[in-house]
Chains A and B, each alone.
Chain A
């Protein structure tokens, strides 16, 4: 699980071009949207595609993302429980 969280942090930084953020600066429970990392709706779409491409998880309802992308911890829990690859 710890490895997956580190992997997710690195992917978020790379795919969302968070140039000034390092893996160490993202805490497992930091909010990804709003006051935390400050991600927006376009980032949410990027993360939905990442879940599908890298973990085989297809979100049928984009609104699900609001809960799943709450933090790296919540994302990792969801991926562990639902991944197909």
Chain B
């Protein structure tokens, strides 16, 4: 089987992450419970005629994928695979609202066409005139990891050489309000420094797009080797440590072999216990970082965790703002990303310096 490498990364998030030269050195402070993505100038990347039908999620996905392609230095790929938990919420809400408001009459096509979950992958393909494999995984908080597993398997089996893979999520006003009603959004606004200790239920909701070119062709500019990806729909809290140990063992590793763990703590008092038990036990002697205080929570935000891990491995720098503990590691070679959302859909992504 061939090895798989992350050859480029691109991120649009509530932070200024689309500028690849900077690495979380100019943090945007929030005091809110819903945070939008910080927009690049979309007009610089998308022709006006194409952009006019695109809602924010599509624009974020198209631009993040273009940035990833530019960094990889390639014109096309052998597959485009995206993950999205909620899909194109803005156009979905617009279309459903029109059905209700107009008593099922006068329905226009644009928002319906643009509302499907595969719209982002489709628009990316149209933009680069790529007729290759095009697939979108929709599976809550493991949507991105599902896409990543697909890409990894194709590359390992040499069915493809370069694959664009990413996760995208956009905020829809109505859907966000529904999540407020069911207490999935934090009841109070919180700042970056308050998120973890907020002691309230729910998370800070957000949006963003994170894209990667993964390849079985290693380059000098490669970020990391993708060793393994695993997902678990359900996992009891008391089985988590054992499951992670087994996962590491399958990759001939032990917890103490890890140089860094990237954890998905979002400050939800009901579910951060999953992360805390790892921080206090099997990873108590391992360097730990987190990121959702900076970019919020959404179904594919774990892709930002992979973006962060990749960037740390390549630059060998850890921005102080993401430190979860004070342990210093001389070198960051092997990194594990762990994420779950509301106690379900757990994922493990294992990266190695290459």
Question: Which residues of A are in contact with B by a Cβ distance under 8 Å?
Answer: 15-20, 38, 42, 45-46, 49, 52-53
- Once the chains are docked, how many angstroms separate the CA of A19 from the CA of B48? 8
Determine if A46 and B108 form an interchain contact, defined as CB atoms under 8 angstroms apart. Answer: yes
Nearest residue in A to B52 (C-beta to C-beta)? A17
B interface residues, how many (CB within 8 angstroms):
13
- Once the chains are docked, how many angstroms separate the CA of A16 from the CA of B53? 8
Question: Which residues of B are in contact with A by a Cβ distance under 8 Å?
Answer: 48-49, 51-53, 102, 105-110, 113
Question: Nearest 10 pairs between A and B by C-beta?
Answer: A17-B52, A53-B106, A49-B108, A45-B109, A46-B108, A49-B106, A20-B48, A42-B109, A19-B52, A42-B110
- Once the chains are docked, how many angstroms separate the CA of A49 from the CA of B106? 6
Chain B residues whose CB sits within 8 angstroms of the CB of A15 once the complex forms = 108
- Once the chains are docked, how many angstroms separate the CA of A46 from the CA of B113? 12
Chain B residues whose CB sits within 8 angstroms of the CB of A49 once the complex forms = 106-108
Determine if A38 and B110 form an interchain contact, defined as CB atoms under 8 angstroms apart. Answer: no
Looking at the assembled complex, report how far the CB atom of A26 sits from the nearest CB atom of chain B, in whole angstroms.
Answer: 15
* Other-chain contact of A46, B49, B51, B105, B110 (Cβ < 8 Å): B110
Nearest residue in B to A45 (C-beta to C-beta)? B109
Chain B residues whose CB sits within 8 angstroms of the CB of A17 once the complex forms = 52-53
Chain B residues whose CB sits within 8 angstroms of the CB of A45 once the complex forms = 108-109
- Once the chains are docked, how many angstroms separate the CA of A49 from the CA of B108? 6
- Once the chains are docked, how many angstroms separate the CA of A46 from the CA of B110? 8
- Once the chains are docked, how many angstroms separate the CA of A21 from the CA of B94? 23
Nearest residue in B to A17 (C-beta to C-beta)? B52
Chain A residues whose CB sits within 8 angstroms of the CB of B102 once the complex forms = 53
Name the residue in A15, A17, A38 with the highest tally of chain B Cβ atoms < 10 Å from its Cβ.
Answer: A17
Given contacts A46-B108, A49-B108, A52-B106, contact A16 B113 (CB under 8 A): no
- Once the chains are docked, how many angstroms separate the CA of A19 from the CA of B52? 7
Looking at the assembled complex, report how far the CB atom of B103 sits from the nearest CB atom of chain A, in whole angstroms.
Answer: 11
Nearest residue in B to A40 (C-beta to C-beta)? B49
